[in-house]
Amino acid sequence: MMFAMPILLVIVITSVQNSTFDLVNNNKIAILISNKDTGEASTRFIKAVDKIGMFRLQMVNGNDSQQIPERMHAKDALVALVIPKNFSYDLITKAQNVATRSLQDAGVSLDTAKPAPVIVEPITLYYHPVLQQSFRQSIEGAIHSALQVVQGDEIVKNLYFSLHEKQIPASLEDDILHNDIPVTEIPVSRGGSRNIPNATQHNVPAWTIFAMFFIVISLGSSVVREKLSGSFLRLKTLPTSYMTALLSKQITYLGVTLLQAIIIFSLGIWLFPHIGLPKLSLPDDIIGLLVITLICGWCAVSFAICIGVFAQTQEQSNGFGAGSIIILAAIGGLIVPSFAMPASFNTIMKISPLHWGLEAYYGLFLEGGKLKDILANILSLLAIIALIQLITLYGLKRKNLI
Amino acid sequence: MNKPAICIEHLDFGYPGQSNLCISNLHLQIDAGERFGLFGPNGAGKTTLMHLMTGLLSQSKGTVHLLGKEIKNHSKTVNGLFGFVPQDFSFYMELSPTENLEFFGAWSGLKKSAIKKRIEELLHVLGLEDVHNKPVHQFSGGMKRRVNLAIAVMHEPQVLFLDEPTVGVDVQTRHAIINYLKLLNTKGTTLVYTSHQLNEAEELCERIALINEGKIIVHDDLKKLLHEHEQDGLEGLFLELTGKKYRD
């Protein structure tokens, strides 16, 4: 169980996260479009939406708007767009108004009469309630940008026609509207490498730490069992110091956590590519990886023993142990990235050893850092270990176990 | 005269948070090679006294010497002089008798060859040979008691403390355990024993102490005490000296 469950956890979480990465990066979002307009601007708008590359368009009969909620409930699509009846007319009129005002301002137009304001009927965007706000905002942004392209196109056409009294040439129109400056994305890396972060690089280190800390279930219970069974008592009457026994226990379980990490990393490297997940790339600094893995493991083992020493029953140890790991993982940035957490959590997250472990792993796996780059994280973890060991020692003395 | 295996003087002990002392100004001497019984009603302080004699608890006042060495300040090496059979099963249920004996033998500081030899002897003498590789949680209460005893004598201690070593076992197991304890005693092991099985105690113990409310109320040769109090057995003596009132 100490190996099977963490492995399963890492595979499941990485697969789920990988689909999200794919959804955002590769897969297109299905969008229902109901076009009630018969003009040419709405057709161009739909083309512009398609050109963004983010959506898979599914046209719905403009007269059958009842289809939209039904298909959205069936999750055929999570977003739907309804283009109103007078879309083209409103858009063209608005563009003409803007063009006229621009020419009046520039003193080019002889016509001084101010154009009447146009009341534009809005486009309606339906979304499924399961969509997160950030995701919804990015969809809205994309729709606005498509709208901007069509509106801009219309304004440019109007301006050109007013100045030259002829239609704008297609090549010029294209140059004006679509001369995008390319944006190159480069992940920041200490080592200068340009590996693109993926779900595996994010999730395998994070959930490996989580798995290591879940040793609290077996180790914490084992300590409680020893206390309840009287094995502690027996060890106290033997010629060996109990501190030696405790140290031996720590070394043994540290070996277990190290083995967990080796197995999970190995699966990331050799199994993941065969099950459709990105391959795990180990950091360049293997010594650094070994050091931080050992320290994370030691911290997990120390925490588990501490829980075991203070818990009265195995149920208490398991319940508190598992609950506390989930809380520490949440505040440590394993569940929600630390940069996305509220400012008030900036201090609280520092008490979580999982936070320091994760930061160190990300320093190596994502930023291409070396051991020296994660020293601050290592020192913080060592301080937490020292504190946990002191609390454990106090508990052992207080309960007359040493 | 034998040198004392245990010498207790002016012993006081109270559990934290309790105003009354659990053991109060207790004096006791147990000679080396004796089969000594410590008896008393529930809550009289027998187990507490045994824990004080083995260093599991620390007294607030007085001294406890084990084979001439002060227990309170003992180093872990003194622990090699005695063995302790706790009232509860104090071993790993998921391990077999062999694995438990290997584990506790190693913690007793025995070498691998000595551990192997002792395991063979103990499994044979305590009738655990046929089940030596089975996990202990599958055992009957009697078999578990024998494992509990085997672990305590792995390192051949000079003094053996036994806190109700035969509770909940059948006649056969009780008989086997008592015979084994007598055998150990003939080889020079001092036995310090508590039990509520008074018939068994009469069979095993030469000298006894009766403890009541943290004080030793009588302490002498068993036969002499029975004669002095004109009692046929330990049960009568026990009731005469400690009364018939419930204690728990």
A217 and A333 housed in the same domain? yes
User: Does a structural domain hold residue A264?
Assistant: yes
User: Does a structural domain hold residue A346?
Assistant: yes
User: Does a structural domain hold residue A183?
Assistant: no
> Is A234–B89 a contact, with Cβ atoms under 8 angstroms apart?
no
Q: What is the CATH number of the domain that holds A166?
A: 3.40.1710
Across-strand partners of B84? B161
User: Does a structural domain hold residue B193?
Assistant: yes
The reported pLDDT for the residue numbered A384 is 97
> Is A239–B77 a contact, with Cβ atoms under 8 angstroms apart?
yes
CB A257 within 8 A of CB A297: yes
Asked if the ipTM is above 0.90, the reply is no
Does residue A194 have a pLDDT over 60?
A: no
Does residue A243 have a pLDDT over 90?
A: no
The reported pLDDT for the residue numbered B165 is 87
User: Does a structural domain hold residue A3?
Assistant: no
Preferred mutation among A223, A235, A236, A237 to probe B, highest tally of B CBs within 10 A? A237
- Nearest-CA distance from A237 to chain B in Å? 6
Each residue's pLDDT tens digit, A93-139: 888 888 888 888 877 766 767 777 778 889 998 888 777 777 788 88
Each residue's pLDDT tens digit, B132-190: 999 999 999 889 999 999 999 999 999 999 998 888 888 888 888 899 999 999 999 99
User: Does a structural domain hold residue A272?
Assistant: yes
Beta strand pairing call for A79-83 and A55-60: unpaired
CB A266 within 8 A of CB A260: no
φ, ψ of residue B135 to 5 degrees: the values are: -65, 140
Contacts of B104 in chain A (CB under 8 A): 234, 238
The reported pLDDT for the residue numbered B8 is 92
> For the residues A162-189, what does the mean pLDDT come to?
74
User: Does a structural domain hold residue B74?
Assistant: no
How far apart are the C-alpha atoms of A111 and A114, rounded to whole Å? 8
Contacts of B89 in chain A (CB under 8 A): 229-230
How far apart are the C-alpha atoms of B191 and B11, rounded to whole Å? 21
- Nearest-CA distance from A221 to chain B in Å? 13
User: Does a structural domain hold residue B99?
Assistant: yes
User: Does a structural domain hold residue B60?
Assistant: no
User: Does a structural domain hold residue B26?
Assistant: no
How far apart are the C-alpha atoms of B108 and B96, rounded to whole Å? 18
How far apart are the C-alpha atoms of B125 and B97, rounded to whole Å? 13
A218 contact B CB<8A = no
A74 and A173 housed in the same domain? yes
A244 and A172 housed in the same domain? no
- Nearest-CA distance from B241 to chain A in Å? 32
Identify the H or E element spanning A199: helix A199-213
Q: Could you say which residues from 332 to 371 on chain A have a Cβ atom under 8 Å away from some Cβ of chain B?
A: none
Contacts of A234 in chain B (CB under 8 A): 84, 86, 90-91, 104, 151
> Is B86–A240 a contact, with Cβ atoms under 8 angstroms apart?
no
How far apart are the C-alpha atoms of A76 and A85, rounded to whole Å? 24
A187 contact B CB<8A = no
Does residue A79 have a pLDDT over 70?
A: yes
| Tokens at A344, concatenated | 């008030």
How far apart are the C-alpha atoms of A285 and A287, rounded to whole Å? 5
A174 and A204 housed in the same domain? no
User: Does a structural domain hold residue A12?
Assistant: no
Does residue A189 have a pLDDT over 70?
A: no
Which candidate, B13, B105, B104, places its Cα nearest to that of B52?
B13
| Tokens at A208, concatenated | 């490996």
Task: Share the mean pLDDT of chain B.
Answer: 87
A299 and A266 housed in the same domain? yes
A106 and A245 housed in the same domain? no
User: Does a structural domain hold residue B247?
Assistant: no
The reported pLDDT for the residue numbered A169 is 81
Chain B residue with minimum CA distance to A229: B90
The reported pLDDT for the residue numbered B74 is 59
* Helices of type H across B6-133: 46-53, 97-107, 112-125
Provide the residue range defining the domain that includes B160: 35-44+80-242
- Nearest-CA distance from B233 to chain A in Å? 34
Provide the residue range defining the domain that includes A113: 28-178
A88 and A222 housed in the same domain? no
Task: Share the mean pLDDT of chain A.
Answer: 85
Residue at which a domain ends, from A178, A207, A235: A178
pLDDT band at residue A191, thresholds of 50, 70 and 90?
low
Q: What is the CATH number of the domain that holds B197?
A: 3.40.50.300
How far apart are the C-alpha atoms of A318 and A315, rounded to whole Å? 5
The reported pLDDT for the residue numbered B175 is 86
User: Does a structural domain hold residue B2?
Assistant: no
User: Does a structural domain hold residue A17?
Assistant: no
How many CB pairs below 8 A link A and B? 54
Whole-prediction pTM? 0.74
How far apart are the C-alpha atoms of B163 and B38, rounded to whole Å? 9
Contacts of A231 in chain B (CB under 8 A): 90-92
Which residues from B are below 8 Å from A when comparing CB atoms?
54-57, 76-80, 82-84, 86, 88-93, 104, 107-109, 151, 155
Q: How many domains does chain A have?
A: 2
> Is B88–A229 a contact, with Cβ atoms under 8 angstroms apart?
yes
Which candidate, B194, B200, B239, places its Cα nearest to that of B28?
B194
Contacts of B15 in chain A (CB under 8 A): none
Across-strand partners of B219? B209
CB A142 within 8 A of CB A52: yes
What residues contact residue B228 under an 8 Å CB cut-off, 6+ apart? Answer: none
Q: Taking CA B92 as the corner, what is the angle to CA B160 and CA B55, rounded to the nearest 5 degrees?
A: 35
Each residue's pLDDT tens digit, A310-368: 999 999 999 999 999 999 999 998 887 777 777 778 888 899 999 999 999 999 998 88
A225 and A123 housed in the same domain? no
User: Does a structural domain hold residue A270?
Assistant: yes
How far apart are the C-alpha atoms of B101 and A238, rounded to whole Å? 13
The reported pLDDT for the residue numbered A1 is 67
A229 contact B CB<8A = yes
Which candidate, B214, B163, B209, B211, places its Cα nearest to that of B18?
B214
A134 and A230 housed in the same domain? no
Q: How many domains does chain B have?
A: 1
